[in-house]
Structure 1
Amino acid sequence: MKLIHVFDAYCGWSYGFAPTLAELVRRHPGLDVEVVSGGLFTGSRRVPVGEFGNVQGANAKISELTGVAFGAGYERLIADGSFVMDSEAAARGVAALRQAAPDRIVELATALQSAFYVDGMSLSDPATYRAVAEAAGLAADGVAEAFAAPASATAANADFERTAALGVNSFPTLLAVQGDRTVAVAVGHASVDEIEQRMAALTAAH
């Protein structure tokens, strides 16, 4: 069995789901998890955060359900409502990190979301990827260069196309692939126990 985690680094619910995914991976070492960027804020949805309405209310609900905290740096970044979340840039960054350490992408995607939702670092800024890479012991210059390279834009678009092909339109969505069957085992929010039960049911049914 393998899992496909379709998320968006700029999605609050994806941020809330990160500890659940980390615990799932901890319980199942060696589990193959592919991380795909969904492209939530692209095209006409790439607008200042102030246009999204009650962001604080939504974040409070995410904190209440998942236990994640939104940091002071993030609150400062979005305070005046002018910050633009660009999911294409975030997907390029995920692609750069995935290229640098494919077997650590779950951990790196979580670190990337913390950089934004805790520290208030823009995912459009190469310095953010440099910092995440450095903290993870990766070649910081290489990751920052990969983020800016045309190949990362190609990879980001490939992720968006993959998301569409998988029929995913809600983030995060965790898919389990067993043989020729692909089943959603979590959409938005689920506990590790719930996900494990669904994975076990899929294995049993195969």
Structure 2
Amino acid sequence: MPSAEQASLTYAFDAYCAWCYGFGPTVRAFAEDNAHRIRLSVVSTGLYTGARALPVAAYPHLSAERGRITQLTGAAFGVGYEHALSRGTTVLDSAAAAAGLVALRDQPGVSELDAAEAMQRAWFVDGRGLSDVDVYRDIADELGLDADAVTSAYSAPGGRVEARAAFRALRRLRVTSSPALLLHTAHGADQMGGAASTVASLTAALDQRLPAAIPQASIHKLSSRGEPS
């Protein structure tokens, strides 16, 4: 399929979502296998916002959940993450993390998946909270980006405004959990899979739905004008 006709998909994820961390290698392999016919955007769902933006100690299930995710997906959690769970003081603030993704994603030449994966490594491997501007400076260095531009974008209010607009757009599309992979069609966003999906099942779902896809629609655009009708 020519580049101008690539179907648009949105990967709805949260940087603090452990299931998204486990799903990451699957969505990466799916995106690479189908790079000739899809354009993938990564958008934050806002898992821990408002009254849910609390210290990690408020979510004791995360420790047990880590074992299940490793068993089902093979995802390896780092010693830094174990220490962060033990301390329990890091505030899970998905609005801050979403602003960080915006700051990274908007830099020239960056892969959105690379940015999302780097953020999740910072938390699930190194145990670094995603409200710390220095985390984004280090990620920028890792990805070969202008660190000053990234940290400036993270600190500016526009990133949080854009992130909250994306949260609202996903709610309009009835995305209630993450991870979720959405194909944009003339009838709305068609959810293709989630944490238990395989590369093969996602590719089969894409094959079935591709004729209805809208070329180059995205949540980035939908967040400012609503769901397509």
Q: TM tier, shorter chain?
A: over 0.9
Cα distance, 1:73 vs structure 2: 0.9
Q: CA deviation at 1:78?
A: 1.9
Q: 1:181, 1:118 → 2: CA distance?
A: 36
Superposition deviation, residue 103 in structure 1: 5.3
CA RMSD in angstroms comes to 1.6
Q: Does 1:163 align with 2:173?
A: no
Distance change (3 Å), C-alpha of 1:181 and 1:169: closer
How far off its partner does 1:51 sit?
A: 1.7
Match of 1:33 in 2: 40
1:110 aligns with 2:122: no
Is residue 63 of structure 2 the alignment partner of residue 43 of structure 1? Answer: no
Distance in 2 (alpha carbons) for counterparts of 1:102 and 1:185: 27
Structure 1 residue 135 displacement after superposition = 0.6
Q: Which amino acid aligns with 1:13?
A: W
Cα distance in 2 for partners of 1:85, 1:122 equals 8
Structure 1 vs Structure 2: percent identity of aligned residues? 36
Provide the aligned length of Structure 1 versus Structure 2.
206
Could you tell me how far apart the structure 2 residues matched to 1:101 and 1:63 are?
34
Match of 1:2 in 2: 8
Larger deviation: 39-48 or 93-102?
A: 93-102
Q: Which moved more, 1:112-121 or 1:47-56?
A: 47-56
Structure-1 separation of matches of 2:177 and 2:206 = 20
TM superposition shift of 1:205: 6.8
Q: 2:73 aligns with which of 57, 63, 66?
A: 66
Secondary structure of 1:100's partner?
A: coil
Match of 2:159 among 152, 156, 161: 152
CA contact (8 A) 1:13 1:189 kept: no
52, 70, 92: which one pairs with 1:85? 92
Q: 1:185 Cα shift? A: 0.9
Task: Answer yes or no: is the 8 Å Cα contact 2:186–2:212 preserved in 1.
Answer: no
Q: Which residue of 1 aligns with 2:22?
A: 16
**Superposition TM-score, scaled by structure 1 size:** 0.94
List structure 1 runs of 4+ shifted beyond 3 angstroms: 178-181
Unmatched segments (≥5 aa) in structure 2: 1-6, 214-229
In 2 relative to 1, CA 185–126 (structure 1 residues): closer, same or farther, beyond 3 Å? same
Change in 2 beyond 3 A, CA 1:142/1:157: same
CA contact (8 A) 2:15 2:94 kept: yes
Structure 1 letter corresponding to 2:76 = A
**Contact 1:35/1:105 (CA < 8 Å) preserved in 2?**
yes
Unaligned runs of 5+ in 1: none
